Structure 1
Amino acid sequence: MQHIKYSIDTDGIAFITWDVANSPVNFMNEQTMSEFLTAVDKALVDNTVKGIIINSAKRDFIAGGDLKWFLNYDQSKEDCFELLMKTNRAMRQMELSSKPVVAALSGLALGGGLEIALACNYRIMTDHPANKIGLVECSVGLFPGSGGTQRFLRMLGPQKAIEYITQSRKLSAAQALKDKLVNQICSPEDDINALAKAWILQNPEVKQPWDDKRFVVPGTPNGIGQKSGYTEFYSVSNAMAYKTTHGNMPHIKNVLSALYHGSSTGIDNALEVEARYFVDTLFTKETKNIIRASFIFIGDAAKGKAKPKGFEQASFKKIGVLGAGMMGAGIAYESAKSGLDVVLKDVSLEGAERGKGYAESIEKQKIEKGRSTHEKASAILDHILPSDSVDDLKDCDLIIEAVFENEALKNRVTKETEAVIKPEVIYASNTSTIPISTLAKASSRPDKFIGLHFFSPVDRMPLVEVIVGKETSDETLAAAIDYVIKIRKVPIVVNDGRGFFTSRVFGKFVNEGITMLTEGIPPAVIENVAKKIGMPVGPLAIADEVNLKLMLDIMAEDPNLTDFEKELQETASTIVHTHKRLGKKEGKGFYDYPKGGKKHLWKEWSTIYPTIEGYDEEEIGRRMLFAMVIDSYKCLESGVLKEAKDADIGSILGLGFPIHTGGVMSYIDYIGAQEFKDYAAGLAKKYGERFQLPQSLLERIDKAGSNRVFYKN
């Protein structure tokens, strides 16, 4: 066999060892599982075998299923169901055998890898901070389909099973032992295979608890009259799931159904229930979109696939961050977390110290939640040197400017810093709107000048736009991507232009929300519909965060405003100057922000923009999404973006665009290209030219016909 090694020692212990060829990790697909199940059957029918140890020749046990295989699966639903049931029957044969089976869990055991372990009689896990177990399929739009839901349910009960599966929780060895998902933990120095063998020799006869006729799923009714509370628990779980997902995520609805219906029957019927719901999930367009976007596109970007070829890995030891506000402090913290020394410079030492204090506050919260220690926090904070002196930057090998969004200020800081740093040092600006080529005019080395646009809060937002100016060299781009990967962020490469990609496109979302308010659509409807379609927050709340005064300043610097944008500029000016409502910082924007109280929409909007009746919620949602999608395509068409997948990555990670749609470009195929074309035409006729599709997009749609516009699957 190519991927599974099989051997029997002198004591009759069979070792089934996962070692997938030509891969750094073990993964499950049709070929590897076929070999694995063949090896299991071989051990079960061999009378000389007393017990079985399933282990790994690699650092990790099994990383899970091969998502590319799932994405490209082209067989029928019936074939898929039969394939799952074949696996289930084989795993049940292993469980029903009296031969003890032990999983030796070194490293990670995730998704399907853990499902294999759950079917074993005993699990031993190596205790190391990097080692985790978990059923993490929900994070990519799926759920466990090889018995994981039903065995978790029978080991943990419904409440924890729902929590751990839907949240894709990864558990440490200590937590897994506490929850009895593993039976024993050992140190990395221990011989885990020897421990597994010892347990087998001491336990020659075994039986799974759920194969006892008296077994009852923990936390479920065990007698007449107890069904009510149990059903109500699942009803509440369904309601909570819908409140969070608004019905946009089929995998969440289906996993809850699999758990509910599987809990009231025996394990064999329960496995069939799970398989049917899994197949139904796998064949949804939402799941395909989530797998493609999160695993393929974002996964590749996180590995630096956008880096120009032919450049060695850039090495960074000490970086300078200019500006210790929230953005600069966040960049300094993320860099320090990755082991880099950071000079955090501000105009005053007091300001720089406050910036370091931001990092301290994050670490303090982590310690309180048990996610860090004082020792780890101290090690990170020791990397950050607050400073008010430009001379402290002279030994840095990367500079990131994060001062206030003012061109004159940025130019002054550039010249001041370049006077002390080495000629080969890259200079990056964290600007969100000013073109990099414009800022690079203040530099004496524009080939070393680049944009690194982080998102707020930096410690939680994974995306970084790497913005290439007219004179930025490929060497500079390659090194910048290396830095972004070093600090474990996800880069997308964006060519220069006002607003770049994310700021520009997100502006369309906010603009549409404000415009609908002026049309008389109630602000609560606008905000709630935005969440219903899958956006994390509404456009009016975002406008308050950004600040209307800042939006006006940005508009004032743009000489190419459309007629629609000029009208919006007048609206924003009225709101700011007449009604004195600027945003969250001032405590008054589209929302009121009472001190010590909860924010709420200002109650007087209807007196300024009288409320209309008969609005269409679907149209409200589509106006917001179409505005972003159409402008994203214009970014692609004009060369601001190189590839459609960069638009999808950027929109999901930077804008919070609904992941179940696959992102802004995938959205066209999500609702159907022809429907998108027709609906856009209707919006354009009703609301104006901003909804008119570019001719090249119309041609793409017509050429695609019934096929997908941007991706094959």
Structure 2
Amino acid sequence: MEHINYTIDANGIAFITWDVVNSPVNIMNAVTMPAFFSTMDKALEDDTVKGIVINSAKNDFIAGGDLKWFLNYDKSKEDCYNMLLETHKAMRRMEVSEKPIVAAMNGLALGGGLELALACNHRIMTAHPKNKTGLIECSVGLFPGAGGTQRYLRMLGPQKTIQYITQSKKFSAAQALKEGIVSEICAPEEDINTKAKEWILVNEKTQQPWDNKRFQVPGTPVGVGQLSGITEFFSVSNAMAFKNTHGNMPHIKNVLSAIYYGASCGIDNALEIEARYFTDTLFTKESKNIIRSSFIFIGDAAKGKAKPKGFEKTTYNKIGVLGAGMMGAGIAYVSAKAGLEVVLKDISKEGAEKGKSYSQIVENKKLEKGYTTQEKIDALLENIYPSADVNDLKDCDLIIEAVFENEKLKNTVTKETESVIKDEVIYASNTSSIPITTLAKASSKPDKYIGLHFFSPVDKMPLVEVIVGNETSDETLAAAIDYVIKIRKVPIVVNDGRGFFTSRVFGKFVNEGISMLSEGIPPAVIENVAKKIGMPVGPLAISDEVNLKLMLDVMGEDPTLTKHEKQLEKLIGDIIKEHGRTGKKEGAGFYEYPNGAKKYLWSEWKKIFPVKEDYDEEEVGRRLLFAMVIDAYKCIDSGVLKEPKDADVGSILGLGFPIHTGGVMSYIDYIGASEFASYSEKLATQYGERFELPKSLKELIEKAENNRVFYKN
């Protein structure tokens, strides 16, 4: 059968081998699952078959469900629920059969791949360092829907089940064995199929633990207080989930419900409960948004889909990083971690050495947690060469400038560096605001000049804006994207402009927060509503991190400020001049920063900006998001960005825009095109032209089908 191979050996052991055609990995969907279950039923009904091994002809076992299939699922809720019930019945036929079934997990076994393995009597996993297993569906807006919630629950108990599923926890082979998720591990050089066969030959009849009438879910005590104890535990879990998600993530709420209600009944009823909650989840707009943006859009970007066609892959061996401050040190670290040699140059050797020490600090923390070894740390540090001598850059394949955000300084560094490097070497600037075309004027080869805007902290933030100047060549762009992919970051291509995309759009979020404070909206309301709508941090806290002095300097250099932005410029200047509030660095911004204590909002703001009582929390949240969304569309309209999906990827990874909405452009579809237009008009009437929609967006909204401007689902 296509996708699934079937053989029986001389001992009566059936091998059901996953080998999905035209795919680098095995995926579970409407085609492959029926093929698998048909083959499994054939083996179960054959009296000559003594046991069954499920394995893979590919490097990995099963990568999980086909998310594109889920995203484009176009049947009814009832059809979906019935499909899941049929899946559960087929997997239960495996479990209630007395024939021993072994999952030979030779590589990655994630999501549905692990769920299938959990329905087997024995699981063997190859202990290769890259091999991982786990139920990771929550990371893409879903939760395990092929029995994973209920089998985890019966194997691990409710506490670990909730933790591991909601956090999409991945396990190495050793960790999976310790947790009891797999039964046995084998070395990479061992034949996993032989081990599976050996187990079957000594285990002629089997039964799943939860099919024993005396089975009790671990962690659910028997006797007095049992019900109240379980209820209390799940109540706390629900409260914690709401605190973290603010009710924006239906899949988290639904998975907790599936686990809670499934704990009090037998496996078959529990699987029906899971199917019902999974169906409800799949049909939410939040899950569709998360799947589309986090898996498809970000996945495509991470593979370098934006790279211009017709250019061979550029390989790098040695790069130069100019400036060993926080950004330069981070860029040096991720480059060295990717196996590249790095010359980390600063104005002094001591400064360069300090920059290198950042890598040591980051890796030492990982060592303490057992995530790395001293040998790996030593090898990484060996890749970083601290220097104060520009001549040490002469053999580099790529230069990344990360000096202080000052045009004159950057120009000086460009000329100094270009005097020693080869003509073909690309020169990239990590600037966050100065146009690349402007900086490239100091270069003797502007076609080789490009922007690589990293985010802080570099080792944790996945996005890199690849900024194209007026004279940047496609060859340079292609090579720059190859570097970003090499260091395992996600590139989006941005055309030149002040603030590019992320800095510009995020500025609207910050500006709106400060504007609302000046209008008398309590600062705690502004900050808490920002988190409630899904932003990771409030606009006032971000302002303190950036520093009001720096914000004022950037505004002062921007000739394109709007009327509203000029008013903000004066307001920020007054805050600095009259109250001495500049930011976190100085210990006094919108927040107070007492030594060794948690920061708190400065109490005097209510005297400076008297509080009004008639504010609307929904309006506060929408002002923060609409300000970003409208400006993000202007980036597309003006050509700063090419496609809406680039805005979605950049906003999620670079700005922390609420992922359940799908990103800045998906947000319009999320709340509905007509609602977005009418609410924007309301905000524009009350607060000014910054909320007015561009003519082209109005036209798109007028033509929108099913109230969606950009995406069908």
Give the TM-score band, short-chain normalised.
over 0.9
Aligned residue for 2:325?
325
Aligned residue for 2:116?
116
Q: How does 1:39-78 map to 2 (within 5 A)?
A: 39-78=39-78
2:112 and 2:415 map into 1 onto residues whose CA distance is: 55
1:229 and 1:381 map into 2 onto residues whose CA distance is: 51
- The answer to whether the 8 Å contact 2:468/2:495 transfers is yes
Choose 53-62 or 574-583, whichever is displaced more: 574-583
Tell me the SS of whatever aligns to 2:585.
helix
1:173 and 1:281 map into 2 onto residues whose CA distance is: 30
Paired AA for residue 488 in structure 2 = R
**Offset at residue 225 of structure 1 (A):** 2.8
Aligned residue for 2:554?
554
Q: How does 1:489-508 map to 2 (within 5 A)?
A: 489-508=489-508
**Offset at residue 603 of structure 1 (A):** 1.0
Paired AA for residue 298 in structure 1 = I
Choose 586-595 or 157-166, whichever is displaced more: 586-595
Aligned residue for 1:21?
21
1:605 and 1:7 map into 2 onto residues whose CA distance is: 75
1:222 and 1:307 map into 2 onto residues whose CA distance is: 60
2:71 and 2:443 map into 1 onto residues whose CA distance is: 46
Aligned residue for 1:462?
462
**Offset at residue 606 of structure 1 (A):** 0.6
2:590 and 2:285 map into 1 onto residues whose CA distance is: 36
**Offset at residue 578 of structure 1 (A):** 1.4
Aligned residue for 2:270?
270
Query: Is 2:138 the counterpart of 1:138?
Result: yes
Q: How does 1:509-528 map to 2 (within 5 A)?
A: 509-528=509-528
Query: Is 2:171 the counterpart of 1:171?
Result: yes
Query: Is 2:692 the counterpart of 1:685?
Result: no
CA distance 1:262–1:343, change in 2 (3 Å): same
Q: How does 1:398-417 map to 2 (within 5 A)?
A: 398-417=398-417
Paired AA for residue 62 in structure 2 = I
- % identical aligned pairs: 76
Aligned residue for 2:2?
2
Aligned residue for 2:573?
573
Q: How does 1:24-423 map to 2 (within 5 A)?
A: 24-423=24-423
Deviations 1:225-264 (A, max 9, x none): 3211111000000000000000000000000000000000
2:226 and 2:555 map into 1 onto residues whose CA distance is: 63
2:263 and 2:223 map into 1 onto residues whose CA distance is: 14
Tell me the SS of whatever aligns to 2:320.
strand
Deviations 1:461-517 (A, max 9, x none): 000000000000000000000000000000000000000000000000000000000
Deviations 1:58-99 (A, max 9, x none): 110000000000000000001111111111001001100000
Normalising by structure 1, report the TM-score: 1.00
- The answer to whether the 8 Å contact 2:3/2:19 transfers is yes
**Offset at residue 223 of structure 1 (A):** 2.6
- The answer to whether the 8 Å contact 2:674/2:707 transfers is no
Aligned residue for 1:642?
642
Tell me the SS of whatever aligns to 2:610.
coil
Deviations 1:651-697 (A, max 9, x none): 00000000000000000010000000000000000000000000100
Normalising by structure 2, report the TM-score: 1.00
Tell me the SS of whatever aligns to 1:636.
helix
1:474 and 1:563 map into 2 onto residues whose CA distance is: 37
Aligned-CA RMSD value: 0.6
**Offset at residue 706 of structure 1 (A):** 2.7
**Offset at residue 705 of structure 1 (A):** 4.3
Aligned residue for 2:598?
598
Paired AA for residue 230 in structure 2 = Y
2:620 and 2:304 map into 1 onto residues whose CA distance is: 37
Choose 691-700 or 587-596, whichever is displaced more: 587-596
Paired AA for residue 271 in structure 1 = L
Deviations 1:338-380 (A, max 9, x none): 0000000000111000100111100010001111111111111
Deviations 1:520-570 (A, max 9, x none): 111111000000000000000000011000000000001111110010001
Tell me the SS of whatever aligns to 1:645.
helix
Tell me the SS of whatever aligns to 1:30.
coil
Deviations 1:395-452 (A, max 9, x none): 0010000000000000000000000000000000000000000000000000000000
**Offset at residue 707 of structure 1 (A):** 4.1
Aligned residue for 1:699?
699
Paired AA for residue 683 in structure 1 = L
Aligned residue for 1:538?
538
Tell me the SS of whatever aligns to 1:405.
coil
Paired AA for residue 386 in structure 1 = P
1:559 and 1:708 map into 2 onto residues whose CA distance is: 36
Paired AA for residue 302 in structure 1 = A
1:578 and 1:414 map into 2 onto residues whose CA distance is: 39
Paired AA for residue 120 in structure 1 = C
- The answer to whether the 8 Å contact 2:133/2:170 transfers is yes
**Offset at residue 2 of structure 1 (A):** 1.0
2:286 and 2:202 map into 1 onto residues whose CA distance is: 48
**Offset at residue 598 of structure 1 (A):** 1.1
2:684 and 2:22 map into 1 onto residues whose CA distance is: 52
- Which segments of 5 or more consecutive residues in structure 2 lack a partner in the other structure? none
Deviations 1:159-197 (A, max 9, x none): 000000000000011111111111111101111111111
Deviating beyond 3 angstroms after TM superposition, the runs of 4 or more aligned structure 1 residues are: none
Tell me the SS of whatever aligns to 2:124.
strand
Tell me the SS of whatever aligns to 1:614.
coil
**Offset at residue 712 of structure 1 (A):** 2.0
Aligned residue for 1:628?
628
1:138 and 1:675 map into 2 onto residues whose CA distance is: 29
Deviations 1:30-60 (A, max 9, x none): 1000110001000000000000000000110
**Offset at residue 224 of structure 1 (A):** 4.0
Instruction: Count matched residues.
Output: 713
2:407 and 2:181 map into 1 onto residues whose CA distance is: 57
Tell me the SS of whatever aligns to 1:321.
strand
